[in-house]
């Protein structure tokens, strides 16, 4: 039995958090004894993981500068569990793991990285410093797993070691995310969307990398030519940034065509409410979970060519360049036409054949086993 500790900041809503939850549940429990350790307590996915019989331990971190007591708690948990592998996810957890290599028995360290082409100038000094430290410390990881080819290439260019960096694309829970139009109709009714209208949605946290501004401006252009199209943004973010985006909707004169749905728990229903899903990201994407999940629900997608988004949708969707509102609007219009003419390939089939959770779990299990053997 191989003991594995997953280390992550929290289990709140987010792509990395959902990916970890799916992977932890999907690994073979006869081969792997799994524990999930979080910096901060609770979180949306904590109950889901616990219900599958996996312990979730919170280190109860009190804030950014709660370091000494927090690390002492982490050290004690690692000594108690005696993991063979510590698999950290995202920058801050990754930075902690080199210090855990000094414990006995010495665990193997795996880093999980998700982003690509990060534009650090959009973030504060602390985030920029952490990313540079991560690049420096990457030599101490025994294995680095990127969820996209673009993410791997980007991190190698930042100084990450090529010899132990591999790609395992994110896996989608295709038993959970599937076609269920009836649940989608109830959400459309809640949002005041006519059943016959075409609804285009952007599911993403409110963050500059997701480029909601481009989506809003493209929506305004599309609305000029398609009277039966409505738009929805699903996700939350900083109040000031949310206020700016809402103001942009007003400036583009589409408030009656645009729904702000906030963060939602009923994502199966949300995806099934959509006719088209969009990713307008300007940078930073790896393999976007929201697009993969929408595809698993049979929803065609329009994505910017950022990260592995184009590879993800394949021939089932429309790909446009980032930072180009006119191209995004044209891509959305093209998808509307394809939808009306029933010309779209089956997005779900691409997910089940290439990006299912079972596939990602099998590749991860092989990587774990090979690392222990080595």
Band (227; pLDDT cuts 50, 70, 90)? very high
C-alpha–C-alpha distance, residues 27 and 24, integer Å: 6
pLDDT bin (cut points 50, 70, 90) of residue 104 is low
Across the beta sheet with 276-279, the strand order is 258-262, 229-234, 198-203, 276-279, 301-304, 318-320
Contact 319, 303 (CB under 8 A): yes
Q: What is the pLDDT of residues 50-100, one digit of tens each?
A: 998 999 999 988 887 777 888 899 999 999 999 999 999 988 999 989 888
Contact 88, 100 (CB under 8 A): no
Domain that holds residue 276: 181-354
pLDDT at 3 over 90: yes
pLDDT more than 90, % of the chain: 76
**Residue 24, in any domain of the structure:** yes
Find where tokens 């709140």 sit: 12
Q: Is 196 a member of any domain? A: yes
Number of C-beta neighbours around residue 127 at 10 A: 14
**Residue 7: band (very low, low, confident or very high) from pLDDT cuts 50, 70, 90:** very high
| Whole-angstrom distance, CA of residue 81 vs CA of residue 210 | 38
**Residue pLDDT, tens place only, 339-369:** 998 877 899 999 999 999 999 999 999 999 9
Mean pLDDT of 138-142: 92
Pair (209, 325) in one structural domain? yes
What value, to the nearest 5°, has the Cα angle with vertex 210 and ends 209 and 211?
90
Residues 212 and 282 in one domain: yes
Paired residues of 320 in beta bridges: 304
Non-local CB neighbours of 117 within 8 Å, separated by 6+ positions: 150, 154, 283, 284, 306, 307
- 165 and 239 co-located in one domain: no
User: Is 82 among the domain residues?
Assistant: yes
Are 229 and 222 in contact, with CB atoms under 8 Å apart? yes
For the segment 9-50, what is each residue's pLDDT rounded down to a tens digit? 999 888 889 899 999 999 999 999 999 999 998 788 888 899
Same domain, 141 and 152: yes
User: Domains in the chain: how many in total?
Assistant: 2
Pairing of strands 85-89, 56-58: unpaired
The answer to whether 141 touches 97, Cβ cutoff 8 Å, is yes
Average pLDDT over residues 270-277: 98
Q: What percent of the chain has pLDDT over 70?
A: 98
Q: How far apart are CA 368 and CA 165, in angstroms?
A: 13
pLDDT at 134 over 90: no
Instruction: Judge if 56 and 102 occupy the same domain.
Output: yes
In angstroms, the CA 297 to CA 349 distance is: 10
In DSSP terms, 3 is beta-bridged to 33
Whether 157 and 190 map to the same domain: the answer is no
Question: Over the chain, what is the mean pLDDT?
Answer: 92
d(C-alpha 248, C-alpha 260), whole Å:
13
Tens of pLDDT along 148-166?
999 899 899 988 999 999 9
* Residue 210 to residue 228: CA distance in whole angstroms: 25
151 and 34 share one domain: yes
- CA distances in angstroms from 219 to 213, 230, 327, listed in the order given: 10, 8, 12
Q: How confident is the model at residue 122 (pLDDT cuts 50, 70, 90)?
A: low
Do 367 and 346 share a domain, yes or no? Answer: no
Estimate the crossing angle of helix 239-251 against helix 212-225, to 10 degrees: 20
Do residues 332 and 363 both lie within one domain?
no
CB 223 within 8 A of CB 288: no
One domain, residues 145 and 276: no
Task: Phi first, then psi: give them for residue 192, nearest 5 degrees.
Answer: 75, 30
Say whether 150 sits in a helix, a strand or coil.
Answer: helix
Q: Is residue 289 part of a domain?
A: yes
Rounded CA gap, 83 and 79, in Å? 8
Residues 162 and 22 in one domain: yes
Q: Identify whether residues 347 and 204 lie together within a single domain.
A: yes
> Is 176 part of any domain?
no
CATH number of the domain that 259 lies in? 3.40.50.2000
pLDDT at 278 over 90: yes
Q: Please confirm whether the linkage preceding 105 is cis (ω < 30° from 0).
A: yes
Question: Which candidate, 265, 203, 210, places its Cα nearest to that of 231?
Answer: 203
Q: Which DSSP state fits 147? A: S
């Amino acid at each position: 039995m191989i003991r594995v500790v997953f280390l992550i900041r929290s289990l709140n809503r987010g792509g990395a958090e959902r990916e970890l939850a799916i992977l932890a549940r999907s690994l073979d429990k006869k081969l792997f004894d799994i524990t999930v350790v979080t910096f901060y307590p609770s979180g949306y996915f904590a109950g889901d993981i616990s219900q599958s019989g996996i312990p979730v331990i919170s280190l109860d971190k009190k804030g950014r500068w709660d370091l000494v007591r927090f690390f002492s708690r982490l050290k004690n948990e690692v000594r108690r569990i005696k993991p063979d592998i510590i698999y950290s996810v995202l920058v801050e957890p990754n930075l902690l793991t080199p210090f855990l290599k000094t414990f006995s028995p010495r665990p193997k360290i795996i880093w999980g990285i998700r982003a690509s082409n990060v534009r650090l100038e959009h973030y504060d000094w602390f985030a920029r410093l952490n990313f540079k430290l991560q690049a420096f410390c990457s030599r101490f990881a025994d294995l680095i797993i990127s969820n996209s080819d673009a993410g791997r290439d980007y991190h190698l260019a930042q100084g990450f070691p090529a010899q132990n960096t591999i790609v395992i694309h994110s896996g989608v829970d295709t038993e959970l995310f599937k076609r269920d139009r009836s649940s989608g109709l109830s959400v459309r009714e809640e949002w005041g969307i006519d059943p016959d209208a075409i609804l285009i949605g952007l599911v993403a946290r409110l963050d500059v990398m997701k480029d909601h501004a481009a989506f809003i401006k493209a929506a305004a252009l599309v609305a000029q030519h398609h009277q039966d199209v409505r738009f929805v943004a699903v996700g939350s973010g900083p109040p000031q940034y949310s206020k700016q985006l809402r103001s942009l909707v007003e400036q583009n004169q589409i408030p009656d065509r645009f729904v702000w749905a906030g963060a939602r728990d009923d994502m199966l229903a949300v995806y099934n409410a959509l006719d088209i899903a969009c990713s307008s990201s300007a940078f930073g994407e790896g393999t976007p979970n929201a697009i993969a999940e929408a595809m698993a629900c049979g929803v065609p997608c329009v994505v910017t060519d950022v990260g592995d988004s184009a590879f993800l949708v394949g021939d089932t969707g429309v790909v446009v360049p980032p930072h180009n509102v006119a191209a995004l609007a044209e891509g959305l219009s093209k998808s509307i036409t394809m939808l009306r003419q029933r010309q779209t390939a089956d997005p779900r089939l691409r997910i089940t054949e290439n990006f299912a959770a079972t596939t990602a779990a099998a590749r991860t299990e092989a990587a774990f086993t090979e690392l222990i053997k080595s």
